[in-house]
Chain A
Amino acid sequence: MNITLKVWRQKNSKERGRFETYHVKDVSADMSFLEMFDVLNEDLITEGKEPIAFDHDCREGICGMCSMYINGRPHGPLQGVTTCQLHMRSFKDGDTIVVEPWRAAAFPVIKDLAVDRSSFDRIMAAGGFVSVNTGNAQDANSILIPKTDADLAFESAACIGCGACVAACKNSSAMLFVSAKVSQLALLPQGQVERHERVISMVNQMDEEGFGSCTNTGACEAECPKNISVENIARLNREYLSAKIAK
């Protein structure tokens, strides 16, 4: 299949970017979206041109590095997948595909399609951990955790921090990411000691980074490659309110 790509090119964070059009020929339907970019980049390098910078690492949907905004949606048209899990069979021969970086003040473009997501790292550093050294794994069932809580914490912990929630949100809000990271600890006994400090610090950091406020559109949940639920955001709101009242 032949594909026309309109790709955002931007030299660095200071320069204004623009769209460039590329024609990629003989694309296999079994290629992943990133493999198609690899082919395009090899062509560009052969022609002596600058290849397109884009983030990628594991290419199996667990690292959270890939971050393309494809035809108006983060990670493309499918639900519950990352860009690396998107294959060209989801497109038709002759399609024109618009590819942009995540757009948010808190995610400045480094180059082309690669954005700086260290604002997420700073939110995690503000409190997204348990401060004590937990040592080796304990014997099974030495700390009893209800199955429902364990399952919910596990679902929240599935967040890979890719930032699709911010990219999808019309307000560039990081509420789904932060809520998942707060929930995975708030639901478990190990997270109780620092529960209040954690949620306050993480929300403060989120606000300082310049993310917008949530208006409950639900776009984050719909686009999340790990299907993190907005129930987490409600939990974050509860955690934050009770922490503010208790403190």
Chain B
Amino acid sequence: MSSNNFLSLFSSSIGKKVIMAVTGLFICLFLVVHVAGNFQLFKADSGLAFNKYAVLMTTNPFIKTISYILYLTIIIHAIRGLMIEFENRKARPVRYAKYDGNANSKWASRNMGILGTILLVFIVVHMHDFWYNYKFGHTPYTLYKTELATGKMTEAKDMGPDFKMGSKMEEMLAGDYKYVIVKDLYKEVKEEFKQLWWVLFYVVCMGAVSFHLYHGFRSGFQSLGLNNRRYNNIFQSIGTWIFAIIIPASFAAMPLYFYFNQ
């Protein structure tokens, strides 16, 4: 019987949930790394640490492999999620005239499709602004001069729009100084968040992240069958405090930081 083979698992109603859970939780894991790395934006070094980090993230073969797995994961999560949304609408062809959803469930849990769609739009815009422009656009280079004896960065010089280089980063030693020429993603971030409407867009989208993960993180464990009275409070607390509050608030603080520190 073909419906009993292992692969048919993924087309069943439970298999769909498993796909959403596994991909969703993997994306949650990525967010932890992403927010931790981005904290370097707050470092007062004109972006040297952040730019070096950007080079590492886009050149290391192991990290690059994980990145491509992540992009695929996001695509699967989005497509499968949208399909579930439309399939589920078909399961109720006639809507209720009076419906009191708040009486029995939380708003976020009922609106994962809308929240997810907002996040998909956000990811496309975000990837275009920083990933695409960094990889294929005209991200400028900056020269950082660091004193070797003290390790202090003494000068950051814009190399101008016409400067081109074969690699993303070159380091050289001369006298008492270390010079680093690196693609300046930090500058792109800084420029983008001088504009109020970009800041608002990012902050609103982080609100969507918060609601999406408030339901999504805990829900992922339930879908995988991990509902245990001993651990439920831990899953819910991590989902609420780390994924619905700390992570979105930290991300939202980044555009606000640049907007108010012009």
Contacts A100-B98, A103-B96, A105-B92; A215 near B84 (Cβ below 8 A): yes
Q: How large is the interface on A (under 10, 10 to 19, 20 to 34, 35 or more residues)?
A: 35 or more
B88 on interface, CB distance cutoff 8 Å = yes
The docked-state distance in angstroms from the alpha carbon of A77 to that of B98 is 13
The docked-state distance in angstroms from the alpha carbon of A230 to that of B104 is 13
Q: Are A234 and B13 in contact (CB under 8 A)?
A: no
Q: Are A104 and B84 in contact (CB under 8 A)?
A: no
Q: Are B14 and A237 in contact (CB under 8 A)?
A: yes
Contacts A71-B98, A171-B88, A210-B91; A237 near B9 (Cβ below 8 A): no
A132 on interface, CB distance cutoff 8 Å = no
Q: Which of B105-113, B143-151, B167-175, B244-252 contacts A (4 or more CB under 8 A)?
A: B105-113
Q: Are A213 and B90 in contact (CB under 8 A)?
A: no
A219 on interface, CB distance cutoff 8 Å = yes
Q: Are B225 and A234 in contact (CB under 8 A)?
A: yes
- Measured CB to CB, the closest approach of chain A to B28, in angstroms, equals 15
The docked-state distance in angstroms from the alpha carbon of A172 to that of B87 is 11
Q: Are B14 and A203 in contact (CB under 8 A)?
A: yes
**B93 to A, closest residue via Cβ:** A105
| A-chain residues with CB within 8 Å of residue B18 when the two chains form the complex | 237, 241
- Measured CB to CB, the closest approach of chain B to A155, in angstroms, equals 13
Contact of A237 among B4, B87, B105, B224 (CB under 8 A): B224
Contact of A172 among B12, B88, B224, B226 (CB under 8 A): B88
Within 8 A of A (CB), among B1-60: 3-4, 6, 8-9, 12-18
Q: Are B91 and A73 in contact (CB under 8 A)?
A: no
Within 8 A of B (CB), among A162-180: 168, 170-173, 175
The docked-state distance in angstroms from the alpha carbon of A147 to that of B95 is 43
Within 8 A of B (CB), among A214-238: 214-219, 222-223, 230-231, 233-238
Q: Are A207 and B12 in contact (CB under 8 A)?
A: yes
| B-chain residues with CB within 8 Å of residue A200 when the two chains form the complex | 4
Contact of B103 among A72, A98, A230 (CB under 8 A): A72
Contact of B88 among A8, A213, A222, A230 (CB under 8 A): A213
Q: Which applies to chain B's interface (DSSP): helix, strand, loop or mixed?
A: helix
Q: Which of B127-135, B193-201, B215-223, B253-261 contacts A (4 or more CB under 8 A)?
A: B215-223
Contact of B91 among A212, A218, A233 (CB under 8 A): A212
Contacts A103-B92, A207-B12, A234-B225; A218 near B3 (Cβ below 8 A): no
- Measured CB to CB, the closest approach of chain B to A86, in angstroms, equals 14
Q: Which applies to chain A's interface (DSSP): helix, strand, loop or mixed?
A: mixed
Q: Are B96 and A106 in contact (CB under 8 A)?
A: no
The docked-state distance in angstroms from the alpha carbon of A218 to that of B105 is 6
Q: Are B103 and A105 in contact (CB under 8 A)?
A: no
| B-chain residues with CB within 8 Å of residue A234 when the two chains form the complex | 222, 225-227
- Measured CB to CB, the closest approach of chain B to A115, in angstroms, equals 11
Contact of B12 among A98, A203, A233 (CB under 8 A): A203
B165 on interface, CB distance cutoff 8 Å = no
Within 8 A of A (CB), among B116-150: none
Query: Which residue, B4, B100, B104, has most C-beta atoms of chain A within 10 A?
Result: B104
Q: Are A223 and B97 in contact (CB under 8 A)?
A: no
**A98 to B, closest residue via Cβ:** B98
Contacts A69-B96, A203-B14; A216 near B222 (Cβ below 8 A): yes
| A-chain residues with CB within 8 Å of residue B104 when the two chains form the complex | 73, 168, 217-219, 222-223
The docked-state distance in angstroms from the alpha carbon of A179 to that of B58 is 46
A247 on interface, CB distance cutoff 8 Å = yes
A120 on interface, CB distance cutoff 8 Å = no
A240 on interface, CB distance cutoff 8 Å = yes
- Measured CB to CB, the closest approach of chain A to B9, in angstroms, equals 4
Contacts A170-B88, A217-B106, A217-B110; A206 near B9 (Cβ below 8 A): no
With A19-B97, A72-B99 given, can you name 11 additional A-B contacts, CB distance below 8 Å?
A: A69-B96, A72-B101, A104-B91, A105-B91, A106-B91, A172-B91, A204-B12, A212-B87, A216-B222, A237-B224, A238-B225
State the 10 A-B residue pairs at the shortest beta-carbon distance, nearest first: A72-B100, A234-B227, A238-B225, A212-B91, A222-B104, A171-B88, A212-B88, A172-B91, A237-B225, A217-B105
**27 contacts across the A-B interface (CB closer than 8 A):** A6-B97, A19-B97, A72-B99, A72-B100, A72-B101, A103-B95, A104-B92, A105-B90, A105-B92, A170-B88, A170-B92, A171-B91, A171-B92, A175-B13, A211-B13, A212-B87, A212-B92, A213-B16, A216-B17, A216-B219, A222-B105, A230-B222, A234-B227, A237-B225, A239-B225, A244-B8, A245-B6
